[in-house]
């Protein structure tokens, strides 16, 4: 069967979680092209049928976490300033994980973090309240960097049209802004939570506390892509202005070499699960879940701050056959909070549910006609994942083995 975007043409599900081999491995977002020519996908081992993400997670039990904490303290002491200046930077929008990280760094490890926010494209009321609580209840100095709203809108529109990826502009900003701000403030230590490779990149990429430089620095802006389009083309054909795009760019290689900023994953040093982060943030920074579950899944506290988030997971369902419930359940199976059977039932019940709650509002904001959005969705369905029966698109294969070709 022909597959689009270089996706593996045979669909296989992990025997341990509910994820399939269609899950893209993470690549630097600014190298995301329309054809996804160099894209790699989650490896599921031929011998035992278990995915690399599950295998990596199992190794967490063998890690000497006391030893890792000692390493963390050593790292913190190296960067600790004790003179009122910020000694580390924690990027985040007020979700439970960033709230946990900033709080534990400040109150347990006595650092002086600056928290940095590239705000969601369309904050939910709950997200904004959680952000305020993070700063007010948690007690932090905070910096918010908002990109030019017109450029943000145009680029987001274009990433939907070119990549069916409504979340790209947020990711670009969230990942690229931190090193640049750290550089400006003379901060040499930046913390992200979890290694983005953990979800499905080759295992070797996970065994390091440092974020790979290729994820956040480039030598030449001319080679990068935003919204699946080369920057040079955005400037010439789409008439974007260089000064409006620059905020989305990664830091320059020379600058990072000069400033020697280190970007670490706190998740390498401290063992926490997203449920624990939730309880911690609820207790210490006034974090509250959404009063209702997110459409497309059963959970109430993962990524609830952006109205566009629900769309993001709907588009992964279209492009890869992987909806939000599959992501959430796979994570919770790994944490042993769900059995695989329970996960499968949740996937059956919620995966791919259409995010209608914010649909009109999001389309309005983006100036995209609702019908056009559905046309785009159909364009991005790969024939090896989807089959049209009458008017209805059906998955060929599911983890529950009830797809049309199962
Ligand atoms: Zn797995």
Locus of tokens 């990549």: 163
How many A from CA of 44 to the centre of ligand 1? 8
How many A from CA of 108 to the centre of ligand 1? 33
**Torsion region of 120: left, alpha or beta (phi above 0 gives left; psi -120 to 50 gives alpha):** beta
Give the lowest-confidence range in 59-73, 184-198, 227-241: 184-198
pLDDT higher than threshold 60 for residue 286:
yes
pLDDT (tens digit per residue) in 250-266: 999 999 999 999 999 99
How many A from CA of 43 to the centre of ligand 1? 9
Burial of 128 (0-12, 13-18, 19+ CB in 10 A): middle
**pLDDT number for residue 200:** 59
Structure tokens given for 13: 């599900």
Is the CATH code 4.10.320 the one for domain 73-269? no
**pLDDT number for residue 309:** 87
How many A from CA of 57 to the centre of ligand 1? 9
pLDDT (tens digit per residue) in 309-357: 889 999 999 999 999 999 999 999 998 999 999 999 999 999 999 999 9
Query: What percentage of the chain exceeds 90 in pLDDT?
Result: 76
How many A from CA of 333 to the centre of ligand 1? 9
Domain range annotation of the chain:
73-269
**pLDDT number for residue 36:** 86
Average pLDDT for 196-200: 60
Residue 214's alpha-carbon distances to 183, 206, 377, in angstroms, are 17, 15, 31
**pLDDT number for residue 406:** 95
How many A from CA of 223 to the centre of ligand 1? 34
How many A from CA of 349 to the centre of ligand 1? 20
How many A from CA of 387 to the centre of ligand 1? 25
Give the lowest-confidence range in 35-39, 103-107, 321-325: 35-39
Share the mean pLDDT of the chain.
92
**pLDDT number for residue 301:** 72
Say if CB 365 and CB 356 are below 8 A apart. no
How many A from CA of 70 to the centre of ligand 1? 30
How many A from CA of 335 to the centre of ligand 1? 11
How many A from CA of 169 to the centre of ligand 1? 28
Strands 392-395 and 386-389, sheet pairing: antiparallel
Say if CB 326 and CB 399 are below 8 A apart. yes
Give the lowest-confidence range in 265-274, 358-367, 370-379: 265-274
Say if CB 182 and CB 89 are below 8 A apart. yes
**pLDDT number for residue 198:** 60
Strands 141-144 and 189-192, sheet pairing: unpaired
pLDDT higher than threshold 80 for residue 289:
yes
Residue 205: pLDDT band with limits 50, 70, 90: low
Q: Specify the DSSP class assigned to residue 113.
A: E
Say if CB 106 and CB 113 are below 8 A apart. yes
**pLDDT number for residue 392:** 95
How many A from CA of 115 to the centre of ligand 1? 33
Average pLDDT for 23-34: 90
**pLDDT number for residue 129:** 92
- Cα atoms in the 13 Å half-sphere on the side-chain side of 259: 22
How many A from CA of 303 to the centre of ligand 1? 21
List helix spans (H) across 187-298: 231-236, 242-245, 253-259, 266-269, 274-285
Locus of tokens 């919204």: 227
- How long a stretch of residues is the chain? 406
């Amino acid at each position: 069967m022909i597959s689009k975007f270089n996706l593996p043409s045979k669909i296989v599900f992990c025997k341990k979680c509910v994820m399939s081999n269609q899950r893209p491995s993470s690549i630097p977002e600014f190298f995301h092209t329309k054809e996804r020519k160099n894209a790699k996908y989650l490896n599921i081992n031929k011998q035992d049928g278990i995915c690399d993400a599950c295998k990596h997670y199992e190794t967490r039990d063998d890690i000497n976490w006391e030893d890792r904490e000692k390493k963390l303290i050593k790292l913190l002491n190296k960067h600790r300033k004790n003179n009122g200046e910020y000694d580390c930077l924690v990027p985040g929008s007020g979700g439970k994980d960033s709230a946990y990280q900033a709080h534990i760094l400040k109150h347990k490890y006595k650092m002086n973090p600056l928290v940095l926010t590239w705000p969601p494209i369309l904050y939910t009321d709950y997200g904004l309240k959680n952000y305020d609580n993070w700063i007010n209840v948690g007690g932090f100095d905070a910096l918010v960097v908002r990109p030019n709203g017109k450029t943000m809108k145009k680029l987001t529109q274009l990433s939907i049209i070119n990549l069916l990826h409504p979340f790209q502009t947020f990711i670009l900003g969230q990942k690229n802004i931190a090193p640049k701000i750290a550089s400006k403030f003379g901060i040499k230590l930046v913390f992200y939570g979890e290694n983005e490779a953990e979800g499905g990149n080759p295992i070797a990429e996970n065994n390091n506390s440092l974020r790979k430089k290729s994820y956040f620095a480039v030598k030449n802006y001319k080679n990068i892509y935003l919204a699946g389009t080369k920057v040079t083309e955005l400037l010439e054909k789409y008439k974007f202005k260089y000064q409006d795009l620059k905020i989305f760019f990664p830091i320059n290689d020379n600058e990072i070499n000069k400033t020697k900023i280190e970007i670490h994953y706190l998740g390498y040093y401290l063992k926490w699960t997203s449920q624990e982060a939730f309880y911690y943030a609820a207790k210490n920074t006034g974090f509250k879940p959404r009063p209702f579950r997110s459409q497309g899944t059963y959970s109430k506290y993962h990524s609830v701050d952006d109205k566009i988030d629900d769309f993001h997971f709907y588009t992964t369902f279209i492009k890869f056959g992987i909806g939000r419930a599959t992501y959430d359940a796979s994570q919770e199976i790994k944490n042993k909070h769900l059995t695989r059977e329970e996960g499968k039932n949740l996937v059956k019940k919620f995966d791919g549910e259409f995010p209608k709650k914010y649909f009109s509002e999001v389309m309005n904001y983006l100036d995209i006609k609702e019908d056009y959005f559905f046309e785009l969705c159909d364009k991005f369905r790969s024939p090896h994942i989807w089959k049209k029966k009458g008017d209805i698109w059906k998955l060929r294969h599911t983890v529950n083995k009830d797809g049309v070709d199962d």
